[in-house]
Amino acid sequence: MSVEAPWKATVLTLFPEMFPGPLGHSLAGKGLQTSLWTLDIRNIRDHTTDKHRSVDDTPAGGGPGMVLRADVLAAAIDAASPVDDDRPRWLMSPRGKPFDQREAQEIANGPGIVLVAGRFEGIDERVIEARNLVEVSVGDYVLSGGEVAAMAVLDAAIRLLPGVMGNPASAQTESFHGNLLEYPHYTRPTVFEGRAIPDVLLSGNHEEIAKWRRQQSLQVTRSRRLDLFDKS
């Protein structure tokens, strides 16, 4: 009987020492230790061909900064993800399509993912086209590099893998499930600085509690994320 391979993440980066970083702790870290998923970190610089191990060059047409070379990055991608690798290849980029919970679930449902963490002004457009890189953004802001963004994508997907969360049902009540933000949570003490836990949560009436939580989710989503509320 064949054993199903664990979910595999490959990250191409110029700073491999940044990993696993936060992914080595909490849910993701436990999953990594128990082989629910694997992490393959590849140093892009290992695929340079000159004595200076140069990975970048000046932008064609002039301008500030440097650009990651197409030939170096292509060689790194080919070594990490051969032609028969069916995992998607994503380039973390502020100009990419927005990453969301739906895509985190899709990635978790697959065999894994290959993530390219860019640096400098960007990477040569030709390698994006030649290696079918999908540009993905984690927000409307610019980071120093793609490593932190790659960690965010991986954390969002890994926690959805079977066996990673202690209670899989937790994912069914979190923010973005059903296009709603999560309802407020409370725990002891019952009264904190004059603020009491809502009576309904202490009533033991599960039907009323569920109704209250649904109403709260709708209210929070409408006030904070009208774009989501309109889809709910």
pLDDT in tens, 94-143: 999 999 999 999 999 999 999 999 998 899 999 999 999 999 999 999 99
Q: Percentage of residues in the chain with pLDDT exceeding 90?
A: 88
Closest CA relative to residue 47, chosen from 32, 65, 68, 31 = 68
Q: What is the CB neighbour count within 10 angstroms for residue 221?
A: 24
Q: What is the CB neighbour count within 10 angstroms for residue 227?
A: 9
Q: Are the C-beta atoms of residues 91 and 133 closer than 8 Å to each other?
A: yes
Domain check: are 178 and 153 in the same one? Answer: no
Closest CA relative to residue 15, chosen from 155, 112, 149 = 149
Q: Is residue 225 part of a domain?
A: yes
Sign of the dihedral through C-alpha 153, 154, 155, 158: positive
State the CATH number of the domain containing residue 216: 1.10.1270.20
Cα–Cα distances in angstroms (integers) from residue 172 to residues 9, 105, 153, 201, in the given order: 24, 12, 19, 19
180-229 pLDDT, tens digit each = 999 999 999 999 999 999 999 999 999 999 999 999 999 999 999 999 99
More confident residue, 179 or 204: 204
Domain check: are 121 and 98 in the same one? Answer: yes
Q: Is residue 1 part of a domain?
A: no
- Of 130, 158, 186, which closes a domain? 158
Q: Is residue 180 part of a domain?
A: yes
State the CATH number of the domain containing residue 70: 3.40.1280.10
Domain check: are 153 and 177 in the same one? Answer: no
Domain check: are 52 and 132 in the same one? Answer: yes
As for how many domains the chain has, the answer is 2
61-104 pLDDT, tens digit each = 999 999 999 999 999 999 999 999 999 999 999 999 999 999 99
Q: Is residue 163 part of a domain?
A: no
Q: Is residue 164 part of a domain?
A: no
Mean pLDDT of the chain: 94
Closest CA relative to residue 153, chosen from 212, 214, 88, 229 = 88
Assess whether pLDDT exceeds 90 at residue 159.
yes
Range of the domain at 19: 7-158
Domain check: are 154 and 76 in the same one? Answer: yes
The model's confidence at residue 231, banded by pLDDT at 50, 70 and 90, is confident
pLDDT of residue 171: 59
Domain check: are 146 and 185 in the same one? Answer: no
Domain check: are 125 and 79 in the same one? Answer: yes
Domain check: are 26 and 102 in the same one? Answer: yes
Domain check: are 197 and 82 in the same one? Answer: no
Q: Are the C-beta atoms of residues 114 and 89 closer than 8 Å to each other?
A: yes
Domain check: are 66 and 178 in the same one? Answer: no
Domain check: are 141 and 223 in the same one? Answer: no
**What are the tokens at 16?**
């491999």
